[in-house]
Amino acid sequence: MRLILLGPPGAGKGTQAARLVEKFGIPQLSTGDMLRAAVKAGTPVGLQAKAVMESGGLVSDEIVVGIIADRMDEADARNGFILDGFPRTVAQAEALDAMLARKGMKLDGIIELKVDENALLSRIEKRANETVAAGGTVRADDNPDAFKTRLDAYKVQTAPVSAYYSGRGTLKTVDGMAPIEEVSKAIDQLLG
Ligand code: ADP
pLDDT along the chain (192 residues), means of 10: 96 95 97 97 97 97 97 95 98 97 94 94 91 94 93 96 93 96 97 87
Output the pLDDT for position 192: 82
Q: Ligand 1 in contact with 45 (CB < 6 A)?
A: no
User: Which atom of ligand 1 has the smallest separation from the CA of 85?
Assistant: 7
- What CATH number has the domain bearing residue 118? 3.40.50.300
d(CA 154, CA 55): 14
pTM of the model: 0.94
pLDDT of res. 52:
97
28 Cβ below 6 A of ligand 1: no
Q: How many whole angstroms from 58 Cα to the centroid of ligand 1?
A: 6
Residue 116 lies in a domain: yes
Bridge partners of residue 4, in order along the sequence: 83, 110
The answer as to whether 46 is a domain residue is no
The number of folded domains in the chain is 1
- Does residue 135 lie in a domain region? yes
Cα dihedral 89, 47, 67, 112 sign: negative
Domain holding 143, by residue range, is 2-26+79-191
Rounded to the nearest 10 degrees, what angle do helices 44-55 and 31-41 cross at? 120
Domain contains 145: yes
Structural domain contains residue 130: yes
| 112 in a structural domain | yes
Report in angstroms the alpha-carbon separations of 132 from 18, 69, 138: 21, 34, 7
**What is the C-alpha separation between 65 and 71, in angstroms, rounded?**
10
